[in-house]
Amino acid sequence: MNLPNGFVRLGYRFLNVPIAMTESRPKSFLGPGKVILLLLLGLLVYGITLIVLVPAGWLWQQASAQVQLPE
């Protein structure tokens, strides 16, 4: 089989396979999937921070009257 004619018959515009494999369409680094995942990660970090800091603040408010701080 003649390879260049085979690629032409398949509708492939490149006749040389190594050249065809190195050329690809430029893609943006941040696609919609990555943006959504980054937003979800940010919300997760924010939620974990609230879960840790809100009880710590409440506990400090309850215990601050009994704790002697250095002046």
Compute CA 58 distance to the chain's CA centroid, rounded to the nearest angstrom. Answer: 34
What is the tens place of the pLDDT at every residue in 37-63? 999 999 999 999 999 999 999 998 999
* 26-34: average pLDDT: 86
Model's pTM, two decimal places? 0.52
Would you say residue 27 has pLDDT above 90?
no
Domain span at residue 57 reads 3-63
Using alpha carbons, list the distances in angstroms from residue 22 to 17, 18, 28, 38, 61.
9, 6, 18, 30, 63
Kindly state the percentage of the chain with pLDDT values over 70.
66
Count of domains observed in the chain: 1
Q: What is the pLDDT of residue 35?
A: 95
Residue 37 lies in a domain: yes
Answer yes or no: is 69 within a domain: no
